Structure 1
Amino acid sequence: MRPGSEFFQIGPGRTRKIFIFSAILLAMNRIWLALLISRPWLLVLAMLAPLSASATHIVGGELDLQHKTGSLYTLTLNLYFDAINGDPGALDQQLTASIFAKGSNARMANVVLTLTSNTFVNYTNPACTVGSLSTRKLVYTNDITLNAATYTNTTGYYVAVERCCRNVTIGNIVAPGAAAQTFYLEFPAVARNGAAFIDSTPRIFPPLGDYACRGELFYYDFGGQDPDGDSLAYDMVTPLNGHTTTAQPLVAQAAPAPYALITWNAGLGTTNQIPGSPALGIDARTGRLTVRPSSLGLFVFGVRCSEYRKGVKIGETRRDFQLYVLNCPTNTPPKLQVWATGAKAVYRPGRDTLRLVPGGNRCLTIRYTDPDPNSVLTMSSRPVNFTEPAPLFTTVRSGTVRAAGAPDTLTATLCFPDCTDTKGKVYLLDLIVADNGCSLPKRDTVRVAFTATQAPNTAPVLTSTFPPAPLPLSSANPAVVRVVLGQRYTATLAGTDIDRNALALSAAGDGFDLEAVKMTFAAQNGTGQANATFTWEPTCEAVSVGATSGLTVHFRLTETGPCTPLPQERVIRFEIAPPRDSVAFHPPNIITPNGDAKNDFFTMPDLPVDFCDHRFAGIKIFSRWGQLVYQSPDRGFRWGGAGSAGTYYYLVTYTDGRKYKGWVEVIP
């Protein structure tokens, strides 16, 4: 019986053709299980049957290598298992991956990968599920260490896992039941020029759970992302067969390359793996897979994703997979039309360009329908050549048409943000309506070209009573304000805006909290204007915070409302001065203690003032032979000489460790 000869109800108002023999296979499996239970001797015969019968299960898979930290990586094998025809006895609990140097094929290591996950691969549309297609994703993984002293080969390395066998029902290769699988991955050396060279495999294409319909365009986005930001390129490759066989489907370790390729049926090849118009192909840049298959059956195919860094290829990963092609009921694609809101004529793609201006209409009206009954339609938008925020749907974007009580046409409204600005370029936006047809939705797309400008914005003005900022203006060249310790300093700031945008004044310390040093900032914010007062009475605690370079404060005026705010800023560095300015320190260097009440004592009235932690600690006076002749902790000391003429030396110390040295001559 040929596939597609019967129908099966799988969704409300929808019928889908499936392979009738899969239902027969399922029934036969149940009968076989009952026989094994009632007649144990059949189990012995089953165990004596050729191993290939229990090894036919592989749908495809790929290897993945992700950097974790340092020299630690995680190696993963994703293996896709046929949940319908595959024998559960062929489900391995562990597999061995082998690592080789590319230049020499020298074996570097064997890594045992343990089964850690067993889940079903999802359909794009679960309502399109057919009983003849079900795939499991088996995840085998282990952490490995790639030592920088070992993995330095400039030609790189490859990882391989070998397993047999593929599905016996595959229709585009020779002897599929005896065809094996080699999972393959290439990665670069982990060190280059004495420095770490970190690379993780690109996370490519989610697994495929869908089937294709004969004569209908099938598409699937296999494009992925690279965690290192490397460039990715995709191409079709012939799947690898390798060295395993039906007699030895599982090996203790993979053999080194080269690996034999699977053999295509006559007329097929790498560029024609699944026949059709077009044949199966992949976009080299986006990874979008497309085919309009012309034949029914199960087809294996191979895709490679290569990664490039600075224009040099550094690695690749491959996926082998299968695509099921069925006969499907006719599904007519939906249709959509677009109007600029209020416009009388429909938008003409390729001929019209929307011009969005400030204060003008920035919305589109979209009408979409589908001639098929009970069609669920969904609208979406996709930027083509820009990354700015996409316009938003402001009304319902999905619904059912041509059902009981449902309309035959739906309407949606899409509006562009006021701040969209194409900067003189023409931006392209795809508007897409999709139905809920099987196996994949049919779509209609209208590409809208548009230009957009923002409302102009004049920068607000910030003024203050702070001293003018030195040139050039920058945060690294702030104005300096000296504030006397214990005295209150006050400054005012004002912001104005001719556009009448909402303004706000704020202040923030550079590496410190304003309140912690007793600075206060009070602002009155409003529309078109804002005012603030800054007050500070510095204390010794503030001196310790800004002892080295002062205290820098950023005063900022911000505006809200315009598409492109233009904030303004003043940067002030506050330095703390002593309570009184110190006169120059010029200690006397001669005294005449002769009792005439003139210059009889050695004093230092001009000593540096006491200032927080910088306080007078004491003075010591020594003879020329180093003998201590006088000392005092009093900054108002009076020394009348040691009773004999000569030169004496003094040492003045402060509590912060500063010292002042000098000499004084005594003349009786």
Structure 2
Amino acid sequence: MIRLILLVWACCLLLLPGRSYATHIVGGEMGMQHLRDSTYVLNLVVYFDAVNGDPGALDQSLTAAIYEKGTNRFVEELPLPLLQNTLVDYSDPACSNASLTTRRLIYARELVLHRKQYRSLNGYYATVERCCRNRVIANIQNPGAAGQAFLVEFPGVVQANGEAFRNSSPSLFPPLSDYACKGELFYYDFGGQDPDGDQLVYEMVTPLNGHSTSGDPKPDRPASAPYSLVRWRTGLSEDKQIPGTPNLRIDAQTGRLEVLPTELGLFVFGIKCSEYRNGVKIGEVRRDFQMLIINCPRNQAPQLQVEAQGQVLPHTPTGTLAFAAGEARCFQLRFTDPDAASRLKLSMRAVNFSEKLPTPTVTTGTVRSPGNPDVLVSTVCFPKCFNTQGKVYQLEFIVADNGCSLPKLDTVRVAFSAAAPPDQPPTLLTTAQLPLRVHPGDVVKFAAIGQDPDQDQLSLTMRGLGFEAAPLGATLGLTTSAGEVRGDFSWTVPCAAIDRGLHEFEFLLTSTSECYAVQTQRLVIPIVVEYENEAPELTSTFPTSSPVPEAPPVVVTLPLGGIYEATLLGTDADPNDLTMTAAGKNMDLASMGMQFTHQDGRGKATGTFRWEATCAALENQPLEVTFTLQESTCRPQPRQQTVRFEVLRPASPAFLPPNIFTPNADGKNNRFELGNVLPPDLCNNRFGDIKIFNRWGTQVYRSQNRSFSWDGGGLPEGVYYYLIEFTNKTRFKGTITIAR
């Protein structure tokens, strides 16, 4: 941001009959600001004589024209409406003069810089022209007929490689309604700022006169370059715009404007601010303004005395003050002013360092008036941690009075160095006995101990390198005391840790010192998780031991009512906890006459199996029982043996019944009997009954006794039919003939 001084010689300005526009322009500048995407805002600032300027010359809008640089090709024109009308402030209101008042008029509007329209590598310029300047300007010829061309240069929105280019003009610091005193140094610091961070360079330039005249003060369309310049009075030039010792000048890098004027009057001057990006100029802004030089009452400079380490320091130091560690690094400031009732202000400025400055105990006060002292005393103390890192810092103490138009100063520059208290690094140790090789289920415990010889505040943290420690169950319990922190590490190694193997736990000790940056110590504890597992072995007294799941099951066969017993043994070489179980396939063991008892243990498990072949087993066969030996480990390898149990059915005789009998009382073949011809009764498959029918289907005999004996019942000879049914619906049919 550029700071310029707004000075209007209003007290001496006389309005002449005729055009009021001839004396209203004080100065101004233009700018182009990027808003968003391709949208910009073009703004014009005009400084207007608020005391003597004709209100009718205060334009409600002005017209801007945009041209391409180099070719002066017309691009477009656009009206700029008046958006803001405010007064310009004095730097010190106490020095204000009612006849010296200026208004700041802002004209602006948005516009879109299209890529196809604004792509020239030469760049562009926007201009507004307006006449006229104050008639009483002392350093140019015919000022009442001199116009002003407001100008801003800006780059195209497309680079040579076709990429978009964005830029905003530097924003100039608002001028101040101040004046300068003949024979006294007038100065102002202009620290420039650019929204894009571009480099800014300042220089004095001759103000542009342009094409506007008193006959055509407000052209319908501002003309293109070149623009005529104002004509300097004899003896003056661009390098000598305001005569003085020195003449008006500006520092190219800092923008500090200063002059010690030797003449009274109203003087116009021009300043150009060029912006550079990567060493290439991309744009510029100009400001024209006026400075009033008057005679001022004599004002004597204030006086400042700086004391440190028991000695009064000279204004320009001849040596360096060295503040040792732990020593108070304080300056005592005594300041006064020869003038009566002078209001003083104390400030400091770091010359060659950027650290934050302390606040003086007294910064303002009035001297040499009733009830006030002749000398003000203030103390400035840097904190004990302030450290110049072995360098020599330069510090300026400045006292300013309240003289007009600018305060007079007294400055004392002090060179000093300061050391902070020593800070020793912390230490971090561990009680862990390395190397640490563990297995799942092991409990790992050790301590990490951090200490600081300076008793600084300590903190200790733990984390896994490449893994999360908390989900694996690792914890760190902290205990703190003065200058020490202890972390008790505890970890019950889970099965989830076996895949990674190596686990590196990082312990970070942080020491926070009042005066120094945080110091850290790092310690990494490697813990190797080992895991090996041999499968357990399962043996039994079953006919064939088959611990392999893919092997066909062993078959045990018993007659109905038979009893079978077997023992099983499980062993593990690791040894892990073993558990032995027996499970029937889709059946309950007890309901099938089976019993299984087991004894589990570490590295060994036993089991006893007993089976009595019951009818239930006969009716639900085939029966399968799986015996499982399970180990308690991270990746168990169970062993199983499946046994099939079958119940033998009794052999049944062939069903060969007789087909004739002779009930004639001769004692031979007198009865119809089946005897052992019928299948035997077995579990729920038992003899139900026998029915005998004649040839017309009439039942003539029935018996539920498998040992029945039918004598024919006195029935006539012939063929009869029988039906035998068992309880499981088995049927036997046949014929029997009665012969006499």
- CA deviation after TM superposition for structure 1 residue 107, in Å: 2.4
After TM superposition, the structure 1 = structure 2 runs for residues 194-209 of structure 1, keeping only pairs within 5 Å, are 194-209=162-177
Q: Per the alignment, do residues 380 and 524 of structure 1 end up closer, same or farther by CA in structure 2, a change over 3 Å counting?
A: farther
Q: Does 1:235 align with 2:235?
A: no
Q: State the one-letter code of the partner of 2:418.
A: A
**Aligned partners of 2:22, 2:210: CA distance in 1, in Å?**
15
DSSP 3-state at the match of 1:455: coil
Q: State the one-letter code of the partner of 2:390.
A: G
- Work out which of the residue numbers 496, 521, 524 in structure 2 matches 1:568: 521
CA deviation string 1:143-173 (max 9, x = no partner): 3323344433222222222222222232221
Unpaired stretches in structure 1, ≥5 consecutive residues: 1-17, 30-48, 470-479, 586-593, 604-634, 641-668
Q: State the one-letter code of the partner of 2:486.
A: N
Q: State the one-letter code of the partner of 2:249.
A: G
2:336/2:376 contact within 8 Å kept: yes
- Work out which of the residue numbers 351, 361, 378 in structure 2 matches 1:395: 361
DSSP 3-state at the match of 2:20: helix
- Work out which of the residue numbers 371, 379, 384 in structure 2 matches 1:413: 379
DSSP 3-state at the match of 2:150: strand
1:91 corresponds in structure 2 to 58
Q: Per the alignment, do residues 596 and 205 of structure 1 end up closer, same or farther by CA in structure 2, a change over 3 Å counting?
A: closer
1:426 corresponds in structure 2 to 392
1:274/1:280 contact within 8 Å kept: yes
After TM superposition, the structure 1 = structure 2 runs for residues 290-439 of structure 1, keeping only pairs within 5 Å, are 290-341=258-309, 343-347=310-314, 349-390=316-357, 392-439=358-405
Q: Does 1:169 align with 2:136?
A: yes
1:135 corresponds in structure 2 to 102
DSSP 3-state at the match of 2:175: coil
- CA deviation after TM superposition for structure 1 residue 100, in Å: 2.1
CA deviation string 1:340-379 (max 9, x = no partner): 14x1444452413211221224111111111111100111
- State the TM-score, normalized to the length of structure 1: 0.71
Q: Does 1:216 align with 2:184?
A: yes
Moved more, 555-564 or 434-443: 555-564
1:460/1:566 contact within 8 Å kept: yes
1:658 corresponds in structure 2 to none
Q: State the one-letter code of the partner of 2:289.
A: F
1:530 corresponds in structure 2 to 485
Q: State the one-letter code of the partner of 2:336.
A: T
Q: Does 1:558 align with 2:526?
A: no
Q: Does 1:287 align with 2:255?
A: yes
DSSP 3-state at the match of 1:96: strand
- State the TM-score, normalized to the length of structure 2: 0.65
2:21/2:132 contact within 8 Å kept: no
1:123/1:208 contact within 8 Å kept: yes
Q: Per the alignment, do residues 182 and 514 of structure 1 end up closer, same or farther by CA in structure 2, a change over 3 Å counting?
A: farther
Unpaired stretches in structure 2, ≥5 consecutive residues: 1-8, 536-542, 553-636, 643-740
After TM superposition, the structure 1 = structure 2 runs for residues 539-550 of structure 1, keeping only pairs within 5 Å, are none
Q: State the one-letter code of the partner of 1:501.
A: D
**Aligned partners of 1:498, 1:98: CA distance in 2, in Å?**
73
**Aligned partners of 1:78, 1:488: CA distance in 2, in Å?**
78
Identity of aligned residues (%): 47
Moved more, 353-362 or 402-411: 353-362
Moved more, 458-467 or 146-155: 458-467
CA deviation string 1:56-96 (max 9, x = no partner): 31111112222333323332222211111112222222223
2:548/2:639 contact within 8 Å kept: no
DSSP 3-state at the match of 1:206: strand
1:606 corresponds in structure 2 to none
Q: Does 1:601 align with 2:555?
A: no
- CA deviation after TM superposition for structure 1 residue 435, in Å: 0.1
- Work out which of the residue numbers 411, 414, 421 in structure 2 matches 1:448: 414
Q: Per the alignment, do residues 510 and 201 of structure 1 end up closer, same or farther by CA in structure 2, a change over 3 Å counting?
A: farther
Moved more, 496-505 or 418-427: 418-427
Q: Per the alignment, do residues 183 and 532 of structure 1 end up closer, same or farther by CA in structure 2, a change over 3 Å counting?
A: farther
DSSP 3-state at the match of 1:196: coil
DSSP 3-state at the match of 2:174: coil
Q: How many residues of Structure 1 are paired with residues of Structure 2 in the alignment?
A: 541
Q: State the one-letter code of the partner of 1:496.
A: Q
- CA deviation after TM superposition for structure 1 residue 538, in Å: 10
Q: Does 1:269 align with 2:222?
A: no
CA deviation string 1:13-63 (max 9, x = no partner): xxxxx97657xx7xx99xxxxxxxxxxxxxxxxxxx85x323531111112
1:332/1:370 contact within 8 Å kept: yes
**Aligned partners of 1:115, 1:367: CA distance in 2, in Å?**
51
CA deviation string 1:428-474 (max 9, x = no partner): 111111000000100011111122233332221234578999xxxxx
Q: Per the alignment, do residues 598 and 134 of structure 1 end up closer, same or farther by CA in structure 2, a change over 3 Å counting?
A: closer
- Work out which of the residue numbers 23, 26, 30 in structure 2 matches 1:59: 26
1:631 corresponds in structure 2 to none
**Aligned partners of 1:510, 1:596: CA distance in 2, in Å?**
49
State which structure, 1 or 2, has the greater radius of gyration over its C-alpha atoms.
2
2:22/2:145 contact within 8 Å kept: no
1:494 corresponds in structure 2 to 449
